[in-house]
């Protein structure tokens, strides 16, 4: 696999110049350390978003599903906004991610609660209530931002645009641990995910305990998304498109698809981030811009060539 090579290449890119930093000097070592942290965080976040997207696409049986479809991003955004504007985030580096995570998880619980209230959980109910709750969170956040002082507003906006530089090594390792654990959980349910793409009833008939598996899958996707968002803000595109591309490359069977999506998403985001900080150095472009701008055309090409293996309507 070319993945380690690409990751190594990412280490060589940065606003301080192209090429590996000189490890002989203290500055060089510090720069390398920063770059390593950042590449790892890019990989972890990219993997998480791609896996979450993959799970949601399978469970909701919808090609437009992505990690943010159930309002997790808006909820996390609201949580982060509250943390920043209330000054809580200044207390500890863990405070902001924690608030964002709590916001995201709470949103899923609300969405799930609304759509399951009718007695039977329906996929359309999930998507619809996701969109509604998401809109409410966004407006609340917008209201907060609009009434906030200028510097607060700036911090919130910057957070929302997404930034892969981890606030601390501890934060990075704990987030990475959560994401890695969830990933293995998803691997374990890949056979059930396969069955769930045929709908709840067929899955039920082949022996999947849909009443447990569906919330578990949704929970896993949310956990990953919330963890990723809490560390790096809202980065779009990865979670939507990487699962499709991965499916085009290895097929729809989740036993192969999940690892492929994780590696693909991680490498892709790390690369995009490296480009983002190098291209216009010393100005750093928001990574979300790069993912869509550079990834878009490339993946369009891949998709049109191999669409047959991705989604078939």
Partner 1 sequence: MSAAMKTSAIEIEGLEAGYRDAPVLRGISCLIEPGEMVGVIGPNGAGKTTLLRALTGLIKPARGTIRLLGENLEDISARRRARLVGVVPQSVDTPMAFTVEEIVAMGRTAALKSWGRPAGRDRRIIEKALVYTDTADMRGRFFSELSGGEKQRAVIAMVLAQEPRIILMDEPTSHLDINHRIEIMQIVERLNGEAGVTVLMVSHDLNLSAEFCRRLVLVHHGRIVSDGAPAQVLKEETLRRVYECDVRVQCGPADGSVTVAPAPRLLPEHSGRGLRVHVVAGGGCGAEILRRLVLAEYSVTCGVLNGGDSDAEVCEALDIDTALETPFSPVGSEALARAMKMAGTADAVVVCGVPFGTGNVANLDLAEAAARRGKTVLILDGVGERDYTPDRAAARRFEELKALGVVMWESPADLVRLLPSALGPGPCLKRRFPFRLGTTSYIVPAEILPNVRMLADRLDDVEIVLFESDEISNLPSAEAVSELARIAREKDLSYTIHLPIDIRLGAADEAVRRASVEKCLRVMRLTRPLAPFAYVAHFHAEEGRSREKLPAADIDRWRGALDRSVKDLLSTEVEPAELCVETLAYPFELVEEIVARNRLSICLDLGHLLLYGYDVSDNMERYMGQTRVVHLHGLAEGKDHRDISKIEPVLLGSLIERLCVEDGVQRVVTIEVFGKADFERSMEVMAARRADAKVVAAAL
The footprint of partner 1 (CB under 8 A) covers: 58, 61-63, 119, 187-192, 194-195, 197-199, 201-209, 247, 251-253, 255, 308-313
Nearer to partner 1, 4 or 119 (CB): 119
Answer left, alpha or beta for residue 66, where phi above 0 means left and psi between -120 and 50 means alpha: beta
Nearest distance from C-beta of residue 210 to partner 1, angstroms: 8
Cβ atoms 70, 57 nearer than 8 A? no
Say how far apart CA 225 and CA 53 lie, in whole Å: 9
CB of 171 to partner 1, least distance (A): 30
Minimum CB separation of residue 9 from partner 1 in Å reads 32
- 292's tokens: 């869509």
Give least dist CB 133 to partner 1, A.
25
Rg (CA), the chain: 19
3-state secondary structure of 206: coil
Of 268, 226, 303, give the one whose Cα is nearest residue 42. 268
Q: Closer to partner 1 at the Cβ: 118 or 149?
A: 118
Residue burial 29-41, b: 16+ Cβ < 10 Å; e: rest: eebbeebebbbbb
CA dihedral (226, 263, 35, 237) in degrees, to 10, reads -50
Nearer to partner 1, 66 or 273 (CB): 66
Residue with smaller CB distance to partner 1, 37 or 197: 197
State in angstroms the smallest separation of the CB of 272 from partner 1. 26
Minimum distance, C-beta of residue 109 to partner 1, in the bound complex (Å)? 24
Q: Which is nearer to partner 1, 110 or 213 (CB)?
A: 213
**Closer residue to partner 1 in complex, CB, 36/198:** 198
Closer CB to partner 1, 195 or 287, in the complex: 195
φ, ψ of residue 21 to 5 degrees: the values are: -65, 155
Report CA 41 to chain centroid distance, whole Å. 11
Rounded CA separation 90/252 (Å): 45
Q: Least distance (Å) from partner 1 to the CB of residue 175?
A: 24
Look up residue 133 and give its two tokens. Answer: 């709750």
């Amino acid at each position: 696999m070319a993945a380690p090579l690409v990751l190594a290449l990412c280490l060589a890119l940065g606003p301080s110049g192209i090429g590996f930093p000189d490890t002989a000097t203290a500055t060089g070592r510090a720069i390398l350390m920063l770059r390593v942290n950042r590449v790892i965080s890019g990989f972890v976040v990219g993997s998480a978003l791609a896996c979450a997207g993959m799970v949601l696409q399978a469970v909701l049986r919808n090609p437009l599903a992505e990690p943010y479809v159930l309002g997790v991003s808006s909820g996390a955004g609201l949580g982060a906004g509250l943390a920043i504007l209330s000054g809580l985030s200044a207390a500890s580096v863990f405070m902001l991610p924690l608030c964002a995570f709590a916001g995201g998880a709470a949103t899923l619980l609300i969405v799930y609660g609304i759509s399951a209230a009718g007695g039977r959980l329906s996929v359309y109910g999930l998507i619809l209530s996701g969109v509604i709750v998401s809109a409410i969170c966004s407006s609340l956040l917008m209201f907060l931002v609009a009434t906030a002082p200028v510097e607060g507003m700036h911090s919130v906006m910057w957070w929302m645009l997404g930034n892969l530089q981890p606030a601390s090594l501890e934060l990075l390792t704990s987030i990475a641990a959560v994401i890695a654990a969830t990933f293995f959980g998803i691997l374990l349910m890949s056979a059930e995910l396969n069955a769930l793409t045929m709908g709840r009833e067929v899955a039920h008939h082949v022996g999947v305990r849909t009443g447990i598996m569906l919330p578990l899958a949704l929970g896993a996707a949310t956990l990953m998304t919330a963890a990723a968002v809490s560390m790096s803000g809202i980065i779009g595109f990865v979670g939507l498109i990487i699962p499709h591309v991965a499916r085009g490359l290895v097929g729809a069977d989740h036993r192969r698809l999940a690892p492929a999506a994780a590696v693909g998403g991680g490498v892709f985001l790390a690369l995009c981030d490296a480009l983002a900080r190098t291209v216009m150095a010393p100005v750093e472009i928001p990574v979300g811009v790069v993912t869509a701008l550079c990834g878009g055309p490339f993946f369009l090409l891949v998709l049109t060539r191999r669409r047959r293996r991705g989604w078939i309507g």
